[in-house]
C-alpha cells in the first residue's frame, strides 16, 4: 500500500490534521534458521513487503487504532492492565509497554495501518508491525532509542505480550534492512555485516513459494524447540563452562552428553550445530559468487529442519521435492516453519518451468496453487 492510500484511509476513518506515515518491512532469510536464540548466526534481508501506518499524537493517554486489512478497531490505554483483546493490537500495545519499561514517555495516538506481508507465511509480518510502531514512536516522541534497542523492543513484545520466545532475527532485519544487501548477524555479539546480494547477474533468482498453510499452533512448538536447545546447552556446559549457547558447542561436546538428554533434544541440538556451520559455508560461498554451494546448503538445511528439527510439514516437503526434481539449485523451508514459504534459488533459465510445474503439481495435490513472491531486498524501517 502507498503512503497516499494509507493517508486516505486515515482521513476517511479518523479525519482531522494530516498524520505522519511510517513503514517497516518483513524479511527473508537465506540461511541460519532457529539459530538466533542459540547465540548463532543468521543471514536475513528486508523485503519490499511490509506494514505501513499513519499516526498522529492525540493529546490523551489512549490509543485508537484501525487495522484496515481486517476493518477492525481497537482502543486501549498504556497501563499494563490495559492489554487489548484484539490479537493484532497486542503487538502495538506491547511495543508501547516495552518502551515505557525502558523509561520512554509514550503518549496516546490515533493510527490507521495496513500491510502486504502475508500473515503466517514465515515472512515476519509481526516483526514488521512491531518495528513500524517502535520506529515511529521513537521518531515522533524523540525518545533517542538506538536501533538495537528498537529491535529488542519488538522481540520482547513477542516474549511478554504474544508468548513467542523468538530470537532477534526478524526485528533486527526489519529495522536494519538495506536495499540490495543481506545481513550476516552474529546474534551473540550482535556484530553484523552487510553483504551485497544480487543473484541475477550471476544467472539466478530468489523466489518464495507460499504453501498457504498458516503456522497457527506454531508458537508452543517453537517454544518447545527453544527449550530443547537450552536443555542440551546446559548439559554441555556442565563439562564445558565456556558453552553459553549451542553456538559455542561442537558435535563432540554434544556427543559427550548424548546419554544425559532425550533423543529428541539431541536431534534438535545436532541440527543447530550443523546449521551454524552451514551459515559459515554460505558466507564463504557468497564471497566466491558460488551460488551452487549456497543452494546445496539450502537443501541440507531443509533436510535438517524436516527430519531433525521437525518444523516442516507435508506441503513444504512436497514443494521442496518438486524443486529438487526440477533441478532448482537450492530450496528450503524459511522462517519458523510449520507452514508458510519455501525460499528457492533458481537458475534464471529454469525459472518459468519450475514455477509452472510447482503450481500445477501443488494444485493437483492440494487443490490450490502456491502463491509466488519474487524477492526484492529492500530498506528497513523508515518515515515516508
Ligand atoms: C521465527 C522467529 C525468529 C527465528 C525464526 C527461525 O521467525 O521469530 O526469531 O527464530 O523463526 O529461524
Tell me the per-residue pLDDT of 21-65, one tens digit each, with 9 for 90 and over.
Answer: 999 999 999 999 999 999 999 999 999 999 999 999 999 999 999
Q: Which residues are catalytic?
A: 170
Mutate to test the pocket of ligand 1, among 336, 339, 340, 341 (most ligand atoms within 8 A of CB): 336
Q: What percent of the chain has pLDDT over 90?
A: 97
Answer whether 44's CB lies under 8 Å from 29's CB. yes
Instruction: Give φ, ψ of 323 to 5 degrees.
Output: -55, -45
Q: Which pLDDT score, from 0 to 100, does residue 85 have? A: 96
Task: Please determine whether the domains at 3-197 and 200-374 fall in the same fold group of CATH.
Answer: no
CA–CA dist 169, 335 (Å, integer): 10
Q: How many helices (H) and strands (E) does the chain have?
A: 11, 13
Q: Which pLDDT score, from 0 to 100, does residue 121 have? A: 83
Q: Which pLDDT score, from 0 to 100, does residue 217 have? A: 54
* 200 Cα: distance to centroid of ligand 1 (angstroms): 27
* 62 Cα: distance to centroid of ligand 1 (angstroms): 31
Query: Is pTM, for the whole model, over 0.85?
Result: yes
Answer whether 339's CB lies under 8 Å from 305's CB. no
Average pLDDT over residues 367-379: 96
User: 200-374 has which fold?
Assistant: Alpha-Beta Plaits (3.30.70)
166 Cβ closer than 6 Å to some ligand 1 atom: yes
Average pLDDT over residues 122-141: 97
* Mean pLDDT, rounded, of the chain: 97
Answer whether 167's CB lies under 8 Å from 29's CB. no
Mutate to test the pocket of ligand 1, among 164, 165, 167 (most ligand atoms within 8 A of CB): 167
Domain boundaries along the sequence of the chain: 3-197, 200-374
pLDDT of 260 > 80? The answer is yes
210 Cβ closer than 6 Å to some ligand 1 atom: no
pLDDT of 133 > 60? The answer is yes
Answer whether 277's CB lies under 8 Å from 311's CB. no
Mutate to test the pocket of ligand 1, among 34, 163, 214, 268 (most ligand atoms within 8 A of CB): 34
Question: Tell me: the pLDDT tens digits for 157-188?
Answer: 999 999 999 999 999 999 999 999 999 999 99
Q: Which pLDDT score, from 0 to 100, does residue 216 have? A: 65
335 Cβ closer than 6 Å to some ligand 1 atom: yes
Average pLDDT over residues 276-284: 96
Average pLDDT over residues 305-315: 97
Average pLDDT over residues 137-151: 98
Q: Which pLDDT score, from 0 to 100, does residue 214 have? A: 83
Sign for the CA dihedral angle at 286, 289, 293, 298 comes to: positive
- Measured by CA distance, the residue closest to atom 9 of ligand 1 is 167
Is the domain spanning 3-197 CATH 3.30.230.10? The answer is: yes
Confidence at 120, pLDDT banded by 50, 70, 90: confident
34 Cβ closer than 6 Å to some ligand 1 atom: yes
Question: Tell me: the pLDDT tens digits for 183-227?
Answer: 999 999 999 999 999 999 999 999 999 999 987 656 899 999 999
C-alpha cell at 148: 538495537
Sheet holding 41-42, edge to edge: 41-42, 181-186, 192-196
Q: Characterize 15-30 residue by residue with b for buried, 16 or more Cβ atoms within 10 angstroms of its Cβ, and e for exposed.
A: eeeebbbbbbbbbbbb
39 Cβ closer than 6 Å to some ligand 1 atom: no
- What kind and span of H or E run contains 194? strand 192-196
Q: Does 361 or 120 have the greater pLDDT score?
A: 361
Amino acid at each position: 500500500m502507498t503512503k497516499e492510500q494509507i493517508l486516505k484511509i486515515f482521513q476517511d476513518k479518523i479525519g482531522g490534521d494530516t498524520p505522519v506515515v511510517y513503514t517497516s518491512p518483513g524479511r527473508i532469510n537465506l540461511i541460519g534458521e532457529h539459530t538466533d536464540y542459540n547465540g548463532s548466526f543468521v543471514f536475513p534481508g528486508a523485503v519490499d513487503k511490509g506494514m505501513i501506518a499513519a499516526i498522529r499524537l492525540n493529546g490523551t493517554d489512549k490509543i485508537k487504532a484501525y487495522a484496515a486489512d481486517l476493518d477492525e478497531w481497537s482502543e486501549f490505554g498504556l497501563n499494563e492492565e490495559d492489554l487489548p483483546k484484539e490479537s493484532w493490537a497486542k503487538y502495538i500495545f506491547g511495543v508501547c509497554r516495552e518502551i515505557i519499561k525502558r523509561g520512554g514517555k509514550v503518549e496516546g495516538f490515533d493510527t490507521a495501518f495496513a500491510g502486504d506481508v502475508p500473515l503466517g507465511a514465515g515472512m515476519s509480518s509481526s516483526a514488521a508491525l512491531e518495528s513500524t510502531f517502535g520506529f515511529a514512536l521513537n521518531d515522533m516522541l524523540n525518545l533517542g532509542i538506538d536501533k538495537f534497542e528498537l529491535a529488542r523492543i519488538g522481540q520482547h513484545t513477542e516474549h511478554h505480550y504474544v508468548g513467542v520466545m523468538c530470537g532477534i532475527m526478524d526485528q533486527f532485519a526489519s529495522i536494519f534492512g538495506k536495499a540490495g544487501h543481506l545481513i550476516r548477524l552474529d546474534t551473540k555479539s550482535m556484530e553484523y555485516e552487510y553483504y551485497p546480494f544480487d543473484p541475477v547477474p550471476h544467472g539466478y533468482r530468489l523466489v518464495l513459494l507460499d504453501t498457504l498453510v498458516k503456522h497457527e499452533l506454531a508458537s508452543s512448538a517453537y517454544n518447545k524447540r527453544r527449550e530443547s536447545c537450552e536443555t542440551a546447552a546446559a548439559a554441555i556446559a556442565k563439562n564445558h563452562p565456556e558453552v553459553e549457547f549451542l553456538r559455542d558447542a561442537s558435535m563432540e561436546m554434544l556427543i559427550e552428553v548424548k546419554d544425559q538428554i532425550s533423543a529428541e533434544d539431541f536431534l534438535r541440538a545436532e541440527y543447530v550445530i550443523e546449521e551454524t556451520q552451514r551459515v559459515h559455508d554460505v558466507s564463504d560461498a557468497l564471497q566466491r559468487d558460488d551460488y551452487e554451494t549456497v543452494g546445496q546448503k539450502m537443501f541440507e538445511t531443509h533436510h535438517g529442519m524436516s527430519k531433525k528439527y521437525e518444523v516442516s510439514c507435508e506441503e513444504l516437503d512436497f514443494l521442496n521435492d518438486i524443486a529438487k526434481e526440477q533441478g532448482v539449485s537450492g530450496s528450503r523451508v524459511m522462517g519458523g516453519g510449520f507452514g508458510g514459504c519455501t525460499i528457492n534459488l533458481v537458475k534464471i533459465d529454469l525459472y518459468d518451468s519450475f514455477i509452472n510445474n510447482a503450481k500445477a503439481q501443488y494444485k493437483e495435490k492440494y487443490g490450490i496453487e502456491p502463491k509466488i513472491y519474487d524477492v526484492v531486498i529492500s530498506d528497513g524501517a523508515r518515515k515516508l
